Amino acid sequence: MKHLLFICALVLFTACEKDEAPHDYSTENEVEIQTYLAENNLDSKKSGSGLHYILHEQGKGAVPLPTDRVKVAYKGYFTDGTVFEENTEGISIALNHLIKGWQEGLSFMREGAKATLIIPAHLGYGNKGQNDIPGGSVIIFDVELIYVNYTTENDLEIQEYLTENNLTAQKTTTGLYYSIDTPGTGDTPSLSDTVKLTYKGYFTDGETFDQSTSEVTFNLENLIKGFAEGMTYFQEGGIGTLYIPAHLAYGNTGQGDISAGTVLIFDIELVSID
């Protein structure tokens, strides 16, 4: 089944604006929604845009921002109960790639929440519709907001990696994990320092993505946040490992061969502070 949900709203509504006289479904959509609510004995909240939403369970995590990435499980159906799309395992997508009703609806939810979004056409697929969704349709989604960005998912991945490999690490307030295998005896770098080190970077599946062949010099201000922070827990001569979640590395976009949302691991020896 095609992923109808994940059509960029900007493209959709730009196309709709080209219609000479687009029909305004707002009034009839609202009547349809009110009829659906009454027939199913449901109470909803209505936003200023015309979106109706029902919170079944309020999560305890983060509220997604417009620039965030979310992992969601959902079922999409019409007011007659016909299901047009469903994903029970969850899919990860940038919030700004969702239709407007989803973007707004998720702003009322926290990570872990479950809700029903009842979306009129002007917040969905407008006058033209999309694939099996006719123009002017009210669409309903039962939604579970599993994760916001990759923070929770990455943390679970790191913990599972540590457990599977019988390793221990300390977690910082930012979400970085680190372990010091060989304590150094020299100074500890600050975030503005230049350091000389050797390193090996790899994923939790063991695949290496980068490795120094000799000692290299970096200014910590030019490194990803997790690497820079991690070096402040080392002393000169120290050897250890950093476990870096995506929000402290390459985030929702990735970099080169590193996919969005990826946990990075670095084995490091801090040779000296220059």
What string of DSSP letters covers 144-176?
Answer: EEEEETTHHHHHHHHHHHHHHTT---EE-TTS-
Is the pTM higher than 0.85? The answer reads no
Closest CA to 101 of 162, 143, 63, 71: 143
Q: Considering Cα of 8, then 10, then 14, then 17, what sign does the dihedral take?
A: positive
Question: Is it the case that residue 200 has pLDDT exceeding 60?
Answer: yes
Residues 118, 115: Cα–Cα separation, whole Å: 10
CATH code linked to domain 151-273: 3.10.50.40
Helix (H) or strand (E) holding 28: helix 26-39
As a whole number, mean pLDDT of residues 121-146 equals: 95
CATH code linked to domain 4-148: 3.10.50.40
Query: 241: Cβ–Cβ under 8 A, 6 or more apart, which residues?
Result: 169, 178, 179, 181, 265, 266, 267, 268
Token code pair at residue 89: 């395992």
Instruction: Give the model's confidence band at 252: pLDDT under 50 very low, under 70 low, under 90 confident, else very high.
Output: confident
Instruction: Provide the β-strand partners of residue 133.
Output: 130
Lowest mean pLDDT among 90-94, 100-104, 218-222: 90-94
At residue 2, the pLDDT reads 44
As a whole number, mean pLDDT of residues 100-106 equals: 97
Topology alike, domains 4-148 and 151-273? yes
Q: Where are the domains of the chain?
A: 4-148, 151-273
Is the backbone of residue 237 left (phi > 0), alpha (psi -120 to 50) or beta?
A: left
Question: Is it the case that residue 12 has pLDDT exceeding 50?
Answer: no
At residue 42, the pLDDT reads 97
> In angstroms, what CA-CA distances link 127 with 98, 154, 251?
17, 40, 36
Span 156-168, pLDDT tens digits: 999 999 999 999 9
